[in-house]
Structure 1
């Protein structure tokens, strides 16, 4: 580790106790510990020793850098510094305790993480510090005496509770920690205030809580609420409710632990928080549906980042099912019977669709339409709507004449595919002898499974499609929406993120080509240099250790994560880090790009609103964001050619009083080079970034070089 890395790791150890990884937050906590010089010195020694031992033991470098192996030792150091005099045994015990904390942390990360995917929390601190308290007389530790900190107002008690997290139940320390908490997360600060206020009221209203110090109840409630409300669950009204319930339970646990712990001669400290949080996390694993509140089952960040991560995905990719379904045909077809249709889509089979092909005159057939062959859809390819396994297939039923139906074999020739738990798709009325798959065969999305026909209960050639929850042929239907569908209307083509076809809707799947990927220029190892506001910033296209594709700034701490979905979309997910980095311009200008070069195509997407608000409004919005159903900017995008380049332009649907879009974007894409010029206009102020060098290969790390060689060879 470099000196800079070590300094950041030291600060992050302090921030870790507030569930933060920000060095700035950590430095404020360091300042808070300085109000007690002895605590500051002992805590600093313990933190440095813990990092040293973690590196000596060759533990995960990233966990050492983010403070995961040091914060328990820090708490022990602060506890020794505040509880005992600065004697020679105290210094030695602090170093030994730091090593023990590292070992216990590593062991519990393996045990709890491997068995139940649970965090180790501050259990190592409790194990080590309880041992020190019980053996203090034997190892020569002399108790320290502190003057009580005055102040009985609610604010003073709240500040002392925050300070108590670091063995510093003082007003000055608590206020610095509150400032650090506000910088880290407004959501966490709000949870801290609400949870403390609740236990403060309970403490005054319920006499049996009087046996526990308010500061102890307070910091256990605050930690529990912050963890449940925004760290392990995505901030929302339901997570806030869970957080306040957890805070109340932590107070009850504290009361129950006081007597048995007193017999052992140790205080409660943050044991109630650990017991309560682990209990809640285990209990919530038994839920049948991960929602209300949604757990953080992705790489976590601040509560605001967790909320933004889930919100952008819910608002942008709000599918009914965990699997994305495409239309079951090629080209443009028309929905002739939809949900609750006039003929057969009734009752248990209401969520189904019939599709046919019409010509320019709106006719389903050529000539008189007296034979199946006259119909435009007859014997056209029928596709699998998603990956899955064929569980039923029939191909020998005779096709009907026009106007005839086979009521004995209602679904006719068909293919039934299992896509996931409780998800099956059925295509029916296929042509005799046209089914091209067999039971047990794995099919890919877009693979031809048969040809449209007129078998079963079908008076004229058409394609029947439905989703169902059971493998029985023709089981009751499930609601269904198709994803990334192009609707065809008189005013042009519009790409719909999700579509529930209604009668008369003409739609097709995206038709990707090889041209757009070449214009995006996202080859692994590609470097782009942009000039913006007089500075040159270099970004590189690569993948992180988790395999996530990213565009990372080499000059600023900023990253854009992106994906290439099933060869028909480029999708920018989250841009994190320095707000002045060019990756945020890329996120706005290229949020989601269909890989179909078509100047007639329009599509919409949503940008996170927080990024484009002024700082005061952004801070205020953080406090209310968990209670907002949606918080994004609806954008309309289109593409057109200028010379040999493609231009993608976007504008917000919301406009100012003069009718001007509040946000506009424009990006120029050059073949083989990617984006060469980007413009972003927010409320009349334009920011530009232009490429200043051709597309070059970056110098990759030893980890990334094998990835590039493998990709090049393939």
Structure 2
């Protein structure tokens, strides 16, 4: 929207870059949207908001110091992985003074990994997206077993043999709005309806289609797991929804030309993301790691590679996370 772009440009340049980095978590290159996201994170939890702030600042400054592409830095592309790394480590590890150093180091690495993956993937015109966040977080979560200064939080999955979890019936219709908004919020590890609503508002400022794709992804992440009799608690917490949210936004709004065909492809990609998440969760259980946003990344890559072989979808003309 034009007014949102004007507000974005009104922010002082350094602050604009930082806030754009937060906004790029949902593919939104807009400082106002990033500010709304950051406020929402602090509403969800002061520690998560502070960790996201440290993460985006560190990853962006790292990109400047290493003289990466100024255009990419200004667009916030070196900020969103750091934004995710901070809350992730604070969720899955017990809080301690050393954890702040851990967040800083992980945020630095996320920018280095992003630059490397952008170089590798550039010939294929496929974005690295949140893969640096995933790879960096996995490395740092596994590394804690070698350091006595860090302790796993109860939220981090315990390593073990995968076991079937009963679905315990379908999600009641009256609980769907809660699951939907939480699904949007869980993209940044926020188990909050309020945070999810604010995230959607921030996306809508930039693009109504983007917000609709996010809602569609959350809806897919409720209906499809319910039909497959997935774990009811996981569905209601939005844990099956946050990956389809990103997948549908990427395919239906950001990286393919927006159209009815790309919207239909986005729905199919969202459905596949649910299956991919369940499969990866079982695959990662023996080593005690969460899936994070890797189901989204994997499905997005596959669909974008496939779209490049089809005459139905044009090359992407937009940038985003």
Q: TM (normalized to structure 2)?
A: 0.85
Question: Residues 63 and 78 of structure 2 are in contact (CA less than 8 Å); yes or no, is this contact kept in structure 1?
Answer: yes
Off by >6 Å, runs of 4+ in structure 1:
none
Instruction: Give 1:211 deviation, angstroms.
Output: 8.3
Q: 1:93 and 1:143 mapped to 2: Cα distance?
A: 13
- Which of 78, 94, 106 is the equivalent residue of 1:97? 106
Higher helix proportion (structure 1 or 2): 2
- Which of 7, 27, 34 is the equivalent residue of 2:15? 7
1:244 aligns with 2:267: yes
- Which of 252, 265, 276 is the equivalent residue of 2:288? 265
- Which of 196, 207, 225 is the equivalent residue of 1:174? 196
Alignment RMSD (CA, Å): 2.1
Specify the SS of the correspondent of 1:136.
Answer: helix
Instruction: Give 1:152 deviation, angstroms.
Output: 7.0
Higher strand proportion (structure 1 or 2): 1
Query: Which residue does the alignment assign to 1:38?
Result: 47
Structure possessing the higher radius of gyration over alpha carbons = 1
Q: TM (normalized to structure 1)?
A: 0.39
- Which of 26, 48, 51 is the equivalent residue of 2:34? 26
Query: Which residue does the alignment assign to 1:219?
Result: 242
Q: 2:100 and 2:84 mapped to 1: Cα distance?
A: 15
CA change 1:176–1:10 in 2 (3 A) is same
Specify the SS of the correspondent of 1:17.
Answer: helix
Question: Residues 9 and 67 of structure 1 are in contact (CA less than 8 Å); yes or no, is this contact kept in structure 2?
Answer: yes
Question: Residues 52 and 87 of structure 2 are in contact (CA less than 8 Å); yes or no, is this contact kept in structure 1?
Answer: yes
Aligned length: 289
Specify the SS of the correspondent of 1:169.
Answer: coil
- Which of 53, 78, 93 is the equivalent residue of 2:62? 53
Alignment of 1:542-561 (within 5 A): none
Question: Residues 211 and 255 of structure 1 are in contact (CA less than 8 Å); yes or no, is this contact kept in structure 2?
Answer: no
Q: CA offsets per residue over residues 388-447 of structure 1, 9 Å max, x none?
A: xxxxxxxxxxxxxxxxxxxxxxxxxxxxxxxxxxxxxxxxxxxxxxxxxxxxxxxxxxxx
Q: 2:107 and 2:98 mapped to 1: Cα distance?
A: 14
CA change 1:66–1:170 in 2 (3 A) is same
Query: Which residue does the alignment assign to 2:252?
Result: 229
Unaligned runs of 5+ in 2: 1-10, 156-172
Instruction: Give 1:210 deviation, angstroms.
Output: 3.2
Unaligned runs of 5+ in 1: 303-714
1:128 aligns with 2:136: yes
1:210 aligns with 2:219: no
Query: Which residue does the alignment assign to 1:372?
Result: none
Question: Residues 212 and 255 of structure 1 are in contact (CA less than 8 Å); yes or no, is this contact kept in structure 2?
Answer: no
Instruction: Give 1:301 deviation, angstroms.
Output: 6.2
Instruction: Give 1:78 deviation, angstroms.
Output: 1.4
Question: Residues 250 and 272 of structure 1 are in contact (CA less than 8 Å); yes or no, is this contact kept in structure 2?
Answer: yes
- Which of 252, 273, 277 is the equivalent residue of 1:254? 277
Query: Which residue does the alignment assign to 1:78?
Result: 87
1:161 aligns with 2:208: no
Question: Residues 308 and 315 of structure 2 are in contact (CA less than 8 Å); yes or no, is this contact kept in structure 1?
Answer: no
1:67 aligns with 2:76: yes
Instruction: Give 1:85 deviation, angstroms.
Output: 3.6
- Which of 314, 318, 321 is the equivalent residue of 1:294? 314
**Larger RCO (CA under 8 A, 6+ residues apart):** 2
Specify the SS of the correspondent of 2:146.
Answer: coil
Query: Which residue does the alignment assign to 1:189?
Result: 211
Q: 2:79 and 2:233 mapped to 1: Cα distance?
A: 29
Instruction: Give 1:141 deviation, angstroms.
Output: 2.2
Alignment of 1:637-656 (within 5 A): none
Q: CA offsets per residue over residues 478-515 of structure 1, 9 Å max, x none?
A: xxxxxxxxxxxxxxxxxxxxxxxxxxxxxxxxxxxxxx
Q: CA offsets per residue over residues 197-225 of structure 1, 9 Å max, x none?
A: 23322222212x33893223201111111
Q: 2:233 and 2:256 mapped to 1: Cα distance?
A: 28
Query: Which residue does the alignment assign to 1:361?
Result: none
